[in-house]
Amino acid sequence: MPPPGPLPADPVVLVDGDLPALVAEAVSSLLAGLVSEGDRALAVEDVRGDEVDLAAVADHCATPPFLVERRIVILRDVGRFPTEEVAPLLQYLQDPLPTTTLILAAGEGAVPQKLVAAVQSAGRVVSTRVGGRDVAGWVHNRLERSAVRVDAEAEGFIRSHLGEDIGRLAPLLDVLVTAYGEGARLGAEEIRPYVGEAGSVAPWEFTDAIDGGHTEEALILLHRLLSAGERHPLVVLAILHRHVQSLLRVDGPAIRTEAQAAEAMGIQPGRSTYPAKKALVSARRWGSRSIADAVGLVADAEVALKGASSWPADAVLEVLVARLCRLARTGGRAPVAGGARRS
């Protein structure tokens, strides 16, 4: 996803997204297209702080620029304001001043739908959201525009190491430019000292590793979910519960097609049936016996996490993941001991 381009005619832009680093990068890109560095002191009003008077913000937007062609008003973390508080902005956007650009930057909380609709009517929304399946393309495009060149191995290393934490890519590239200079050609070994802790991963990467029976990889991804992803052990268990339940739903002689699997999983018509296809392929590889054992193991782990075991939560999950990987590998051909019980 390329950064947004210049928007000299738009009276309002909502920069949407859930990663602060990407939202901030998009806002900076917008500013670069709207005003020169030399004019920013006169043209830009960056509204920050815990206490913000939105009526005053609307008044600033309605004030003509002084000594510059365009006034830029930036309102950060607009999602923190409930619908009733954004009334002054809604009123202003009914007839916005053509010489003002109001940039609304998303942050914590959901942007009120009335405000989103007003922005869409008067200007436009720029999304910085990157879906899990789009991360590889986004990282590739961002690296293509960077001031350093990385080879294919280094790109794969960066993508794997950052995982879902793609907001860390821009700071990483800045560090690499500082360390090696513009135009430097870098491999994975040159980049490795600067990447920091491994980022979180998408849940489907975790469950894919389990389906493949790759114990070492699955355990690494488990700890990335728990540490960098800051997911509670019960949240990780819920991911595993949903996964084995999806296998159970499509495990049956009457379910042979992707469409039948989608219906069994409750996927609404018109939605992608790709998850059903994956579940059907995995269920056939696991086998009915392994799926039944997996359901029991997840149930035992839930009891253990809720106080029946003195084991640390991460140890309970490690044992569970290792046993699930074994089930996926053997397809029900090898017995598995009972759940992670230890007092």
CATH number at residue 177: 1.10.8.60
The per-residue pLDDT for range 91-132, each reduced to its tens digit, is: 999 999 988 899 999 877 788 899 999 999 998 998 888 766
Closest CA to 15 of 109, 144, 128: 128
Alpha carbon distance 250, 258 (integer Å): 10
Q: Which residues on adjacent β-strands are paired with residue 44?
A: 72
Q: What CATH number is associated with residue 98?
A: 3.40.50.300
pLDDT confidence tier of residue 66, bands split at 50, 70 and 90: confident
Average the pLDDT over 217-233 and give the result: 85
- In DSSP notation, 148-190 reads SEE-HHHHHHHHHHHTT-GGGHHHHHHHHHHHH-TT-EE-HHH
Alpha carbon distance 56, 153 (integer Å): 51
User: Same domain for 95 and 156?
Assistant: no
What's the number of domains the chain is made of?
Answer: 3
- Of 68-72, 127-131, 293-297, the one with minimum mean pLDDT is 127-131
- pLDDT given for residue 2 in this prediction: 42
Structure tokens at 316: 């309970």
179 within 8 A of 147, measured Cβ to Cβ: no
pLDDT confidence tier of residue 341, bands split at 50, 70 and 90: very low
User: Same domain for 31 and 136?
Assistant: no
Alpha carbon distance 149, 144 (integer Å): 8
User: Same domain for 291 and 209?
Assistant: yes
Alpha carbon distance 3, 27 (integer Å): 9
User: Same domain for 85 and 136?
Assistant: no
Closest CA to 280 of 250, 244, 235: 250
Is 5 contained in some domain?
no
User: Same domain for 123 and 136?
Assistant: no
- pLDDT given for residue 131 in this prediction: 67
User: Is the pLDDT confidence value at 312 over 60?
Assistant: yes
Question: Which residue, of 77, 99, 127, is where some domain finishes?
Answer: 127
Is 240 contained in some domain?
yes
3-state secondary structure at position 11:
coil
Is 7 contained in some domain?
no
pTM score of the predicted model: 0.53
Q: Which amino acid is at 303?
A: V
Question: Which residue, of 76, 110, 127, is where some domain finishes?
Answer: 127
Domain that holds residue 137: 132-194
Alpha carbon distance 296, 288 (integer Å): 13
User: Same domain for 215 and 314?
Assistant: yes
What rounded mean pLDDT belongs to the chain? 84
Is 99 contained in some domain?
yes
User: Same domain for 93 and 142?
Assistant: no
User: Same domain for 121 and 216?
Assistant: no
Is 118 contained in some domain?
yes
- pLDDT given for residue 132 in this prediction: 62
User: Same domain for 75 and 155?
Assistant: no
Alpha carbon distance 158, 170 (integer Å): 12
Is 339 contained in some domain?
no
Q: Which residues on adjacent β-strands are paired with residue 100?
A: 71
- pLDDT given for residue 248 in this prediction: 93
Closest CA to 278 of 264, 261, 301, 293: 261
- The H-or-E segment that residue 13 falls in is strand 12-16
Question: Which residue, of 176, 194, 212, is where some domain finishes?
Answer: 194
223 within 8 A of 199, measured Cβ to Cβ: no
- pLDDT given for residue 170 in this prediction: 82
Tell me the CA end-to-end span of the chain in Å, nearest whole number. 51
User: Same domain for 84 and 175?
Assistant: no
User: Is the pLDDT confidence value at 291 over 80?
Assistant: yes
The per-residue pLDDT for range 241-286, each reduced to its tens digit, is: 999 999 999 998 889 898 888 888 888 887 888 888 889 999 999 9
Question: In this structure, is the dihedral angle defined by the CA atoms of residues 180, 186, 192 and 198, taken in order, positive or negative?
Answer: positive
User: Same domain for 32 and 88?
Assistant: yes
Is 214 contained in some domain?
yes
User: Same domain for 223 and 145?
Assistant: no
Is 338 contained in some domain?
no
